Structure 1
Amino acid sequence: MPKEQQEVVVLGSPHISTSATATTINMPEISTPDHVVWSLFNTLFMNFCCLGFVAYAYSVKSRDRKMVGDTTGAQAFASTAKCLNISSLFFTILTAIVVIVVCAIR
């Protein structure tokens, strides 16, 4: 036998050890509220100085950013929409209270 074949016989068949590992990363899906329903309600019923309409526009922008995958932009627009909705709600209720008080005094 040639020398090379003897080495193969002595060493045996080559052992191929492969270990396959799979790593799965589960990233939590961040839910960003876009306040579209609240903005639509304020636009239809409590639209003090068009704050409800502007809030609705920001809510739609927030929803668009969320669909694209830009969570930071979606959160920024949603925060602005929330502030505008709160302002619209506050000023509309304040106006209603003032009107009721003025009518009651007469």
Structure 2
Amino acid sequence: MDNHSYNFPSDCTPLTNCKSARKPVGSTVVNMGNTGKNPPRDYLVWSLCNTLYVNFCCLGFMALIYSIKARDQKTQGNLQLAQECSDKAKWYNILAAGWNLLIPLLAIVLLVLLLVHLGSSQGSFDFLGEDGLQNFLKLFSW
């Protein structure tokens, strides 16, 4: 392809119309719908994380189902049903995240209590012998 220098009239530029040949008629308005209200969120990434991690009582899986339903309804334009599914997905995600944090915390607390009990049993690592179980249960009594 040859490199040529192009000469354009002073009032015309490439990919536009010449100013002298055509005058603008008016403006074009594009209606984008109701921009005042944000569409509902679907919480899909949060649901995927809760589904893959622990997933106690299938709460993360239920959140994933409602997240997908919310996304489908949002793309179909049914914003009211999308909002309902979004709310359910959010609460299932909150419950799943709570359980996902509670179970490891309980395991850590029980491990610490066990180590404290074994450390206070005067060198004896016999957990069930010599009132070991009763001493361990005393840790839970107020």
Q: Same fold (TM over 0.5)?
A: yes
Change in 2 beyond 3 A, CA 1:23/1:38: closer
**More RCO (CA 8 Å, sep 6+):** 1
C-alpha distance in structure 2 between counterparts of 1:50 and 1:39, whole Å: 11
TM-score normalised to structure 1 length: 0.73
Structure 1 position 31, deviation (Å): 2.3
| Other structure's SS at 2:42 match | coil
Q: Which runs of 5+ in 1 are unaligned?
A: 1-21
| Other structure's SS at 1:63 match | helix
Partner of 1:88 in structure 2?
96
Partner of 1:35 in structure 2?
43
Aligned-residue identity in percent: 38
Structure 1 position 25, deviation (Å): 5.5
- Between the two proteins, the alignment pairs up a number of residues equal to 85
Name segments (4+ residues, structure 1) moved above 3 Å: 22-26
Partner of 1:16 in structure 2?
none
TM-score normalised to structure 2 length: 0.55
Verify the 8 A CA contact 1:46 1:89 in the aligned structure 2: no
C-alpha distance in structure 1 between counterparts of 2:86 and 2:52, whole Å: 19
Read off the aligned partner of 1:31 and give its amino acid letter.
P
Partner of 2:107 in structure 1?
99
Read off the aligned partner of 1:85 and give its amino acid letter.
N
Verify the 8 A CA contact 1:61 1:74 in the aligned structure 2: yes
Partner of 1:73 in structure 2?
81
